[in-house]
Chain A
Amino acid sequence: AQSVTQLGSHVSVSEGALVLLRCNYSSSVPPYLFWYVQYPNQGLQLLLKYTTGATLVKGINGFEAEFKKSETSFHLTKPSAHMSDAAEYFCAVSDWISGNKLVFGAGTILRVKS
């Protein structure tokens, strides 16, 4: 069975600092990996995803993530945090076998301090 572990339920950074949100996955076949963001009182929006090909994936709002098979990781980064990045971030996994079932991590709340 697939699973996702997000390290750190809360992360706090200063405005302008590096954002690093950690995600490790478990999958018996090559995974599809996703990062979604949820702003307060809203549904989720896709930031970026990896299916095949280039392991460094660029998404919206300056975020990127790198698929590292050897480390079973898909960490999300942004070079410089902005106040508007404050939200909850979810890592998720599926694969070509269970492509209709997306498994989410528990989420990481990002706080950006001025």
Chain B
Amino acid sequence: NAGVTQTPKFQVLKTGQSMTLQCAQDMNHEYMSWYRQDPGMGLRLIHYSVGAGITDQGEVPNGYNVSRSTTEDFPLRLLSAAPSQTSVYFCASSYGSAGGIEDEKLFFGSGTQLSVL
């Protein structure tokens, strides 16, 4: 059981380039989300999805796009990378929500370290 798989693990971009961070889960989870982790700031929610075709913004959505065409995949797109987007990105999934239901929890991927020069 692979869980939550993120690719690539490392990426270096130049300012203005675009790219897509991939996230896939094989647990049939409806809820998927993207966080960025910056030193001293914890994790901040970028976008999330409660099912195929449904997405919503989190705390820091600017500069990022998402779509959810299948239950398994939830890619994060950087349209025009900026140095402020240098961060570690985590994808997380769960059955229905961010964990407010009994016996529910977020499963995290191992992260993508992104540097924008």
**Which A residues form the contact surface with B (CB < 8 A)?**
4, 9, 32, 34, 36, 41-46, 49, 51, 90, 94-96, 99-107
Residues A42 and B110 in contact in the complex (CB < 8 Å), given A101-B48, A102-B98? yes
Q: Name the distance in Å between B50's Cβ and chain A's nearest Cβ.
A: 6
CA of A101 to CA of B98, assembled, Å: 6
Task: State whether A99 touches B97 (Cβ < 8 A).
Answer: yes
| 6 nearest CB pairs, A to B | A43-B108, A104-B42, A99-B100, A102-B98, A46-B105, A104-B43
Can you list, as one digit per residue, whether each of B39-72 has a CB less than 8 Å from chain A (1) or not (0)?
Answer: 0111111001010000010110000000000000
B114 lies within 8 A of chain A by Cβ? no
Task: State whether A99 touches B106 (Cβ < 8 A).
Answer: no
Number of chain B residues close to chain A: CB under 8 A? 29
Chain A neighbourhood of B111, CB < 8 A: 41-43
**Which B residues form the contact surface with A (CB < 8 A)?**
4, 31, 33, 35, 40-45, 48, 50, 56, 58-59, 90, 92, 97-102, 105-106, 108-111
Determine which residue in B33, B43, B92, B102 has the highest number of CB atoms from chain A within 10 A of its CB, and name it: B43
CB nearest to B4 among chain A residues: A43
Task: State whether B42 touches A46 (Cβ < 8 A).
Answer: no
Q: Name the distance in Å between A72's Cβ and chain B's nearest Cβ.
A: 18
Partner of B44, one of A41, A94, A100, A104: A104
Chain B neighbourhood of A32, CB < 8 A: 99-100
CA of A15 to CA of B43, assembled, Å: 28
Chain A neighbourhood of B4, CB < 8 A: 43
Chain B neighbourhood of A101, CB < 8 A: 45, 48, 58-59, 98
